[in-house]
Structures are given as structure tokens and as C-alpha cells.
A and B are shown apart, each in its own frame.
Chain A
């Protein structure tokens, strides 16, 4: 029996267009959803939950995000401060930076992200420290509790 020799050198190619279309759609989807603002969030801080807290719709002109953990360690602007008392220079620096942008200290929004088990006294101490440099507009950040 004689077999026919397959000399057909043509490469078999499927139509890749739909796959590439879908892949690009997926990339676009993930690119839109990626959240780079998380650099300000300390992941280890477990926020208390609340049903009434509404996510802010307008971003303040100038905001400072202070992450406070159970032991009173503050994470702020990529730095770690072992005690609240060490925050003075960093807060003064932020105040100066805000004034360059014509934002007064009283208009700076201080967002406090405190762990749910942190003693409230430490939160108050952090607020006092901010007050000492002229900040007075505070927001206590909590996780939104959704009612199903």
C-alpha cells in the first residue's frame, strides 16, 4: 500500500482575532478596576464596620491619611512612627506642603484609619497631636457594612 506523502508546507493557523479581542477586553477591565490609591492604606489595620458611614463623594483639597494600629504605631506617608509623639516633624512638613498649595491647616482633612481594637485614648492622643500643629478637620474612617 502506498501512502501519499504530505508535502503541504502551509502552516495551519486558527483565527486568533476573537481571542485577542476578548483578551484585550479583559485587560481593559482589570486596568479600570485596579486601585492604586491603596498605597495609603495599611493592610494590617482592620477597620471597624458601620452601616451609616457613607463613602466620601468629593475628595478634599488636601488630605492626610494616618494609620494607627493597636500598639499606637502610626503609618503615614510610607513612614512608620513607633510613637504618636514622633509625628511632629512629619505633620509640620505636611502643613508646609499644604500651604504651598494655598490650603490652610484648618482645611486639611485628616483621615484617621484606626484598628478596631486600638484603645480610644490613643486615637484621642493622635487627634491632640494633629491639633497641636493646627489641624482641626478630622474624619474617622470605617468600613462600610452592607445590609443584605
Chain B
């Protein structure tokens, strides 16, 4: 019996099929690739509706109320602020930076840093005000950027319930 020698045969892998699949995968990932902008959060403390009947002033050591007033086309018309001792109204273009200054001043006058942490903001926002203006106000009271670093101001934020205003 003659045994065929296999020594001279070159074993060749067929790369075509693999390369086809690999390129299809590559095309799939390239087509579905999308650069997504990062998203961040503002945390809002919202007690249950049933607890709202209790007076907030009795529970909280300090409260700043911020009223955001709506103007034409859902834009912001003005901001009223009140910390129980002092109050002010802003209507000009730099109302947000003035709001930040007011909050910062209020916290600084607290003296005791632990009390500043306890300070809470309550937003009273007109129903039709566009959400982007609300976010700007939340940003203004949350902190400010000083020399490229974020200085935190107030972390406790809540909304006064105005959801029934339009009805």
C-alpha cells in the first residue's frame, strides 16, 4: 500500500471569509459610533407632599426663597430673593450673577460654616417659565467658578409646588 506523503503540501488558511466578517463588524461599529456629551445632575430634595403642611421655617435653620418670574415667551422677567432678613429684586441682564452674590453673602453672614451647609433654597417658579432658565437659577445658587475651581454654595434645593398654576 502506498502512503501519500503530506510533507510537501502547504497548509493555507482561507482568510477571505474572516476578513469579510471583520470588515462588516468594523463598518457596523463605525456607523453606530456617536460622540455623546457627558450629562450631569442637580439633586433636588423634595419631601413628600403629605409633609408639606408643616411649617418649613420651624424645621429648617435657614431658608432663602427665590421667586422666578416669567415674562414674554416663557423667558425670565425677574428674580425676587428673600432670606428672611434681607430681600431684593433683580431685573437686569446679570440677574443670575447677582443671585449668586446674594446667596454667597447670606452664607458668609451665617458665620458658622456648619449652618451654611444647612441653608436651604426654596424656588417659587412661575408655571410657564422655560426649564432652561430654572436650571440657570439652580446653577447660580449651587456654586460658582472661582479661578477655574468650583466653589460650592448651597446643596439643598427644593421647589414650591406651582404645578396647579395653569389649571
**Residue B25 is within 8 A (CB to CB) of chain A in the complex:** yes
Total chain A interface residues with beta-carbon distance under 8 A: 49
A132, B49: Cβ atoms closer than 8 Å: yes
Q: Which positions 23-71 of chain B face chain A at CB distance < 8 Å?
A: 23, 25-26, 29-30, 32-34, 36-49, 68
- Range of interface residues on B (Cβ < 8 Å): 35 or more
A138, B46: Cβ atoms closer than 8 Å: yes
Q: Give the distance in Å from the alpha carbon of A55 to the alpha carbon of B37 in the complex.
A: 10
- Closest chain A CB from B25 CB (angstroms): 5
- Closest chain B CB from A50 CB (angstroms): 5
**Residue B19 is within 8 A (CB to CB) of chain A in the complex:** yes
Among the 9-residue stretches B1-9, B84-92, B112-120, B137-145, the one with 4 or more Cβ atoms under 8 Å from chain A is B137-145
What are 16 pairs between A and B in contact, CB < 8 Å? A16-B19, A20-B19, A27-B22, A52-B150, A119-B130, A119-B166, A120-B130, A121-B163, A124-B125, A128-B49, A131-B49, A137-B43, A139-B44, A141-B39, A142-B41, A144-B39
Shortest Cβ-Cβ A-B pairs, 5 listed: A53-B40, A121-B127, A30-B29, A116-B132, A125-B163
Please give 13 more A-B residue pairs, beta carbons under 8 A apart, in addition to A38-B36, A120-B129, A144-B38. A23-B26, A26-B29, A30-B29, A47-B39, A52-B42, A56-B41, A117-B130, A121-B125, A123-B131, A127-B159, A136-B48, A139-B42, A143-B38
A residues sitting closer than 8 Å to B (CB atoms) are 16, 20, 23-24, 26-27, 30-31, 33-35, 38, 47-48, 50-56, 111, 114-125, 127-128, 131-132, 134, 136-144, 147
